[in-house]
Amino acid sequence: QVQLMESGGGSVQAGGSVRLSCAASGFTISNYCMGWFRQAPGNEREGVVTIDAFGRTDYAASVKGRFTISKDNAKNTLYLQMTSLKPEDSAMYYCAARDIDTCSRSRSWYNYWGQGTQVTVSS
């Protein structure tokens, strides 16, 4: 059974940093497309960044240079390091996976989702 479990969210002041983790079970993340998405109240769920089975990444323009995606295949865990956080980064952050080796930042690409972890950035 595929499961994704996010952790690491919380409240932080603008300019601060947070690292999110996504522990995967039931499959091997090294073979999958993995992504981080976020959704703020009243907004669509948007793709933040993806990493494919070859290690290629694709960042949304709004987070490029501030966020870094990585994965630890030995721990079967995906990470999102977020720095220079802004109030507009506040959202529920979701980990997503698809059993294919290439990625898209389109929400419809993914067939597995975690429950999400909240990140709140105060000014």
At 1-49, the pLDDT tens digits run 999 999 999 999 999 999 999 999 999 999 999 999 999 999 999 999 9
Q: Residue 109: which pLDDT band, with cuts at 50, 70 and 90?
A: very high
**Contact by Cβ (8 Å): 60, 105:** yes
Sign of torsion over alpha carbons 30, 54, 32, 101: negative
At residue 102, the pLDDT reads 92
At residue 123, the pLDDT reads 94
Strand ranges (E), 1-123: 3-7, 10-13, 18-25, 33-39, 46-51, 57-59, 67-72, 77-82, 91-98, 112-113, 117-122
At 39-76, the pLDDT tens digits run 999 999 999 999 999 999 999 999 999 999 999 999 99
